[in-house]
Amino acid sequence: MIQAVGLTSNPRKALPPAVDDVSFEARAGRVTVLLGAPGAGKTTVLRLMLELQQGRGLTYFRGRPLHRIAHPSREVGVLLGDVPGHPSRTVRGHLRMLCAATGVPVRRADEVLEVVGLVSLRDERLGTLSRGMDRRLGLACALLADPHTLVLDAPADGLSSRENRWLHGMLRAHADQGGTVLTTTTDPKEAARTADQVVTLKEGRLVADQDAADFARTRLRPRVAVRSPHAARLAALLTKEARTAHCSVEVVQEDGNRLSVYGSTCAHVGEAAFRHGILIHQLADETGDMGSNAVVMAAVGVVGAGARVEASATADCTESDTDTDTDDSFDNPAEAEAEAETEVGSEAEVERPDTTPPPAPAQSPPLPSPRAADALSALPPPISVRSAPSPLRPLRYELRRAAGISTGFLTGAAVLVVSALTAVLLARVGHTPQARLLAAWPAQLPLPPAALGAGLLGALAFGDEFRHPALAADRGTVPRRLGMLTAKLVVAAFTALLLAFLTMGCNAEVLYLLYGREFAKVPGDWLALTASWFGLVVGCAWAGVLAAGVFRSTTAGLAAGLAVPVAVVPLVQAAAGNTSVRTAAGLSVRLREVLLVQWPFGGERYLSAAVRLVAQPVGWALALSLTTLLCAYLFTTLRSRVR
């Protein structure tokens, strides 16, 4: 069950808020539809409910706000817009990645593919899917964690009649199993066919909250709107004439002096009033209008807004209200009867007289007490945008994210080719140290190709995710979680180490094949050089990850890696040259004296070597950059949580 109270978006400069004091309930076991023209505020209502947009109000999912639910994806399945995923990722790969994010077994991906009918397209890329297949995949993402509640924004937008029927059949099945379904649409006929409850919005305000049967009777049926100071007399006269002529005419007396006449025409009503000398103030055909003004006013009174609702004699519905498509059949007997009655004109004859009394106006929730009205009129609490606690299995999620597209493999292959060509050119020119030759690092370049490639792959770990947010199927954009950051750093380090090892191996093999063993020999201090090489590549990868996480940009991540040798290293060298810095000579002896312990297996030597590496200008610059980026990431994470 969903309970939304006082949803109000923040004002937009000089414009009124897109949503103003909207309250409604979506019960379990029922399909609830938010109906309204484009711009009525339907999507904004959903974003406020899901805490994706700043505003005011409260929304409870089975009695709990979303930020108090431990695993939101297992409670609420969400589809807002298109499926947010990388266009090069496969359908099955995308779902398997989301399985790791939501913490469900990986076999669940194949199960939902079977349910939505995408088994034959599981190896297709997301960028090649049609509109209907994209909607099916979006529903699969929403159903992945077996949630109790489905919140879908225009799920049938752009679908054919057949796909539309399939989609609403799926939603009906979910509701029949006890789940809650909340969708949006701009088509009143679709709302009447598929919903159990219709909540109508207009210009950001709630104007009606009705059952589907009441909505179909008051909104969809063509009628004659009459205003007269003698409305009661005219209603009795029209009812008497209809029974005498054995015609199926219904007369509903609204509040004040308004009548709604179903099954008749303006000519027939006007002639009857003329014959009996009844004054008429309004006489107009209405199709798809909001219907009973009493219903509208009662519904508005529930939310405590006191909004003025102006009934218009002209239709304010979408073009689909007058559609004559043969697929506009109702799904239950009550709706079918309402649809059949709309096709009966003033000349239609029935076999027996209509002795059924006129139906009462649509029942709306009772008006609140004065105390409740005061509580509702008070300013509701603010809505804070919060990050969802996902992914639940960050390391598995990150591995599937990185391996699910070909960008990483293509980048690695490009790095190997460029490094091999650079090493060959350096060997041909000569005068290049052996260490730089194996790393393919010309003195004119700030970084070798392997370090640049590692920084790019690290930047893509966050930058690609913000452009194609895989976790948006849960709630909003990618959250800033330390567990997720740790997983990305681990995967980036492993990728960088693999890339550095393959680069050195490929360069050595190419040099050996072309120039012989002399150019491919291993330097004497290979251990320290290898550690420095691995540290440089891993540091560039981590700088890319942290910078992309802070600035949410792949370009910023790559720029952070380039800034280390170009800008930070000269600053460190200048600072070290202007101060009296002691060398790290004899560090192992001093460490033993300070700690008063004997390091096992000569461990102080390895620690001394690590400190010597860090004491170099590049090491200092890289450590300083990583520390700064990590602090910036932690600061932005804490700030987002505080807000």
Comparing 485 with 319, which gets the higher pLDDT?
485
Residue 386 and residue 640: Cα distance in Å, rounded? 7
Domain presence at residue 134: no
* pLDDT > 60? residue 587: no
Q: pLDDT for 312-329, tens place per residue? A: 333 333 333 333 333 333
**Side-chain-facing half-sphere of 209: CA atoms under 13 Å:** 19
* pTM, full prediction: 0.72
3-state secondary structure of 602: helix
Counted domains in the chain: 2
* Cβ–Cβ under 8 Å, residues 219 and 209: no
Is the domain of 582 the same as that of 444?
Answer: yes
Is the domain of 453 the same as that of 568?
Answer: yes
- Helix/strand/coil percent split, the chain, to 5: 55, 10, 35
Q: pLDDT for 427-442, tens place per residue? A: 988 888 888 888 998 8
Domain presence at residue 271: yes
Is the domain of 355 the same as that of 501?
Answer: no
Is the domain of 353 the same as that of 484?
Answer: no
Number of H helices, E strands in the chain: 24, 14
Domain presence at residue 56: no
Reported as type and span, the H/E element at residue 24 is strand 22-26
CA 326, 328, 329 angle in degrees (round to 5)? 100
Domain presence at residue 182: no
Which residues, 6+ apart, have CB-to-CB distance to 353 below 8 Å? Answer: 243, 246
Please report, for residues 123, 133, 136, 394, the alpha-carbon distance to residue 128 in angstroms, rounded to integers and kept in the order given.
Answer: 11, 9, 14, 28
Is the domain of 403 the same as that of 551?
Answer: yes
Comparing 225 with 347, which gets the higher pLDDT?
225
Residue 542: phi and psi, rounded to 5, are -65, -35
Last residue of a domain, one of 361, 383, 416: 361
Q: CB neighbours (10 Å) of residue 199?
A: 28
Instruction: For the chain, give the percent of residues with pLDDT over 70.
Output: 76
Is the domain of 338 the same as that of 413?
Answer: no
Is the domain of 342 the same as that of 404?
Answer: no
Is the domain of 324 the same as that of 404?
Answer: no
- Whose structure tokens read 């300013």? 379
Q: CB neighbours (10 Å) of residue 439?
A: 26
Domain boundaries, position 518? 394-642
Mean pLDDT confidence for 38-64: 93
pLDDT at 57: 93
Is the domain of 326 the same as that of 409?
Answer: no
Domain presence at residue 59: no
pLDDT at 642: 54
Domain presence at residue 16: no
Give the model's confidence band at 500: pLDDT under 50 very low, under 70 low, under 90 confident, else very high.
very high
CATH number at residue 262: 3.30.70
- Whose structure tokens read 């992914």? 391
Is the domain of 351 the same as that of 411?
Answer: no
Is the domain of 463 the same as that of 542?
Answer: yes
CA 493, 499, 505 angle in degrees (round to 5)? 135
Reported as type and span, the H/E element at residue 209 is strand 205-211
Reported as type and span, the H/E element at residue 251 is strand 250-253
Radius of gyration of the chain (CA): 35
pLDDT at 344: 32
pLDDT at 13: 78
Q: pLDDT for 381-422, tens place per residue? A: 787 777 777 788 999 999 999 999 999 999 999 999 999 999
Domain presence at residue 613: yes
Q: pLDDT for 522-571, tens place per residue? A: 777 788 788 888 888 888 899 899 888 888 888 888 888 788 777 776 77
Amino acid at 72: P
Across the chain, mean pLDDT equals 79
Is the domain of 428 the same as that of 348?
Answer: no
Residue 405 and residue 408: Cα distance in Å, rounded? 7
Give the model's confidence band at 615: pLDDT under 50 very low, under 70 low, under 90 confident, else very high.
low
Q: Which of 558, 408, 452 is nearest to 86 (CA)?
A: 408
pLDDT at 580: 44
- Strand order of the sheet with strand 258-262? 250-253, 258-262, 223-227, 282-286
pLDDT at 612: 56
DSSP states of 54-100 as a string? Answer: -EEEEEEETTB-GGG-S-HHHHEEEEESS--S-TTSBHHHHHHHHHH
**For the chain, how far is it from start to end, CA to CA, in angstroms?**
27
Domain presence at residue 491: yes
Strands 282-286, 223-227: pairing kind: antiparallel
Strands 22-26, 2-9: pairing kind: antiparallel
pLDDT at 378: 55
